[in-house]
Chains A and B, each alone.
Chain A
Amino acid sequence: METLVHNLIASGAFGKNASPHLVAAIVVFIMSAVVFLGVAFPFAGIVSWAERRVWARIQSRVGPNRVGPQGFLQWLADGVKHVCKEDIIPDESDAPLFKMAPYLVMLAFTLPWAVMPFSSSLILADLNVGILYMTSVTALTVVGVLMAGWASNDKWSLIGGIRSAAQIVSYEIPAGLSIFPVVLMTGTLSMQGIIRAQGWAPQHWFLFANPFTFVAANILYISALAEGNRTPFDLPEAESELVAGFATEYSGMRYLFFFMAEWGNLFIIGAIIATLFLGGWQFPHIIKSVVAMNILEAITFNVKVLFLVFVSMWIRATLPRVRIDQLMTLCWKYFVPISFVNMIGTAVWVAIWPDGNSLMRYLMLAAAIALAAVFTQRVIYYLRRSRMEVYFNPTI
Chain B
Amino acid sequence: MSTLHTEEMTLNMGPQHPSTHGVLRFVVRADGEVMREAIPDVGYLHRSIEKIAEKVGYHGFMPYTDRVDYVCAMFTNQGWGMACEKLAGIEVPHRGEYCRVIAAEFNRIASHLLSVGAMAMDIGAVTPFTHAIREREMINDLIEELCGARLTFNYMRIGGVAWDLPPGWREKALAYLDHFDPILEEYNALISWNKIYIERLANVGVITPAEAINYNLVGPNLRACGIKWDIRKDMPYSVYPEFEFDVPIGDGHWGKLGDSMDRYVVRIREMAESSKILRQALQKIPPGPVLAKVARNFKPPAGECQIRLESGRGDMGWYVVSDGTGYPWRVHVRTGSFAAMGIIQKLSAGLMIADLVTLIASLDVIAPEIDR
Residues of chain A in range 356-396 having any CB-CB distance to chain B below 8 Å? 382, 385-387, 390, 394, 396
B131 touches A320 (CB 8 A): no
Q: Could you say which residues of chain B place their CB within 8 Å of the CB of A155?
A: 9, 11
Known interface pairs A155-B11, A325-B352; A60-B134 also in contact (CB < 8 Å): yes
B127 touches A317 (CB 8 A): yes
Q: Could you say which residues of chain B place their CB within 8 Å of the CB of A321?
A: 123-125, 196, 200, 354
Distance in Å: Cβ of B351 to nearest Cβ of chain A? 10
Q: Could you say which residues of chain A place their CB within 8 Å of the CB of B121?
A: 240
A241 touches B131 (CB 8 A): no
Select one of B122, B131, B352, B353 contacting A59, CB under 8 A.
B131
Q: Could you say which residues of chain A place their CB within 8 Å of the CB of B162?
A: none
Q: Could you say which residues of chain B place their CB within 8 Å of the CB of A137?
A: none
Bound complex: CA A232 to CA B197 (Å):
11
Select one of A234, A240, A323, A390 contacting B179, CB under 8 A.
A390
B355 at the interface (CB under 8 A from A): yes
B186 touches A241 (CB 8 A): no
A239 at the interface (CB under 8 A from B): yes
Select one of A241, A318, A385 contacting B354, CB under 8 A.
A241
B352 touches A318 (CB 8 A): no
Q: Which of A58, A320, A385, A394 has the most CB of B within 10 A?
A: A320
Known interface pairs A59-B130, A155-B11, A243-B17; A320-B354 also in contact (CB < 8 Å): no
Distance in Å: Cβ of B290 to nearest Cβ of chain A? 29
A-B contact count (CB 8 A): 88
Residues of chain B in range 5-42 having any CB-CB distance to chain A below 8 Å? 9, 11, 13, 17-19, 33
Bound complex: CA A206 to CA B15 (Å):
52
Distance in Å: Cβ of B361 to nearest Cβ of chain A? 8
Distance in Å: Cβ of B180 to nearest Cβ of chain A? 11
Known interface pairs A232-B196, A240-B17, A243-B17; A323-B127 also in contact (CB < 8 Å): no
Known interface pairs A60-B134, A155-B11, A243-B17; A318-B127 also in contact (CB < 8 Å): yes
B149 at the interface (CB under 8 A from A): no
Q: Could you say which residues of chain A place their CB within 8 Å of the CB of B9?
A: 155
Bound complex: CA A156 to CA B11 (Å):
8
Binary interface encoding of chain B residues 109-142 relative to chain A, with 1 for a CB under 8 A from any of its CBs, else 0: 0000000000011111111011100100010000
Enumerate the 6 nearest inter-chain pairs by beta-carbon distance, A residue then B residue, closest first: A321-B124, A59-B130, A320-B125, A320-B124, A320-B123, A240-B122
B184 at the interface (CB under 8 A from A): no
A312 at the interface (CB under 8 A from B): no
Residues of chain A in range 297-332 having any CB-CB distance to chain B below 8 Å? 317-326
A239 touches B18 (CB 8 A): yes
Q: Which residue from chain A places its CB closest to the CB of B204 in the assembled complex? A: A323
Q: Could you say which residues of chain B place their CB within 8 Å of the CB of A60?
A: 130-131, 134
B45 at the interface (CB under 8 A from A): no
Q: Name B's A-contacting residues (CB within 8 A).
A: 9, 11, 13, 17-19, 33, 120-127, 129-131, 134, 138, 179, 182, 186, 190-191, 194, 196-197, 199-200, 352-355, 357
A238 touches B127 (CB 8 A): no
Known interface pairs A241-B357, A243-B17, A319-B194; A55-B352 also in contact (CB < 8 Å): no
Q: Name A's B-contacting residues (CB within 8 A).
A: 55, 58-61, 155-156, 159, 163, 231-232, 234-235, 238-241, 243, 317-326, 382, 385-387, 390, 394, 396
Q: Could you say which residues of chain B place their CB within 8 Å of the CB of A235?
A: 354
B352 touches A320 (CB 8 A): no
B130 touches A323 (CB 8 A): no
Q: Could you say which residues of chain B place their CB within 8 Å of the CB of A325?
A: 33, 352
A320 touches B355 (CB 8 A): no
Select one of A234, A240, A390, A396 contacting B19, CB under 8 A.
A240
A320 touches B120 (CB 8 A): yes
Select one of A317, A323, A385, A394 contacting B126, CB under 8 A.
A317
Q: Could you say which residues of chain A place their CB within 8 Å of the CB of B134?
A: 60, 390, 394
Q: Could you say which residues of chain B place their CB within 8 Å of the CB of A317?
A: 126-127
Bound complex: CA A396 to CA B125 (Å):
25
Q: Could you say which residues of chain A place their CB within 8 Å of the CB of B125?
A: 318-321
Bound complex: CA A58 to CA B128 (Å):
10
Q: Could you say which residues of chain B place their CB within 8 Å of the CB of A387?
A: 179
Distance in Å: Cβ of B22 to nearest Cβ of chain A? 13
B18 touches A243 (CB 8 A): yes
Known interface pairs A232-B124, A319-B196, A387-B179; A324-B354 also in contact (CB < 8 Å): yes
A240 touches B127 (CB 8 A): no
Q: Given A55-B126, A322-B196, 17 other A-B contacts at CB below 8 A?
A: A59-B126, A60-B130, A163-B33, A234-B124, A240-B121, A241-B13, A241-B353, A241-B354, A243-B18, A320-B123, A321-B196, A324-B352, A324-B354, A325-B33, A386-B186, A390-B179, A396-B138
Distance in Å: Cβ of A174 to nearest Cβ of chain B? 18
A320 touches B200 (CB 8 A): yes
B126 touches A238 (CB 8 A): no
Select one of A159, A232, A318, A396 contacting B353, CB under 8 A.
A159
B11 touches A323 (CB 8 A): no
Known interface pairs A235-B354, A241-B354, A387-B179; A320-B191 also in contact (CB < 8 Å): yes
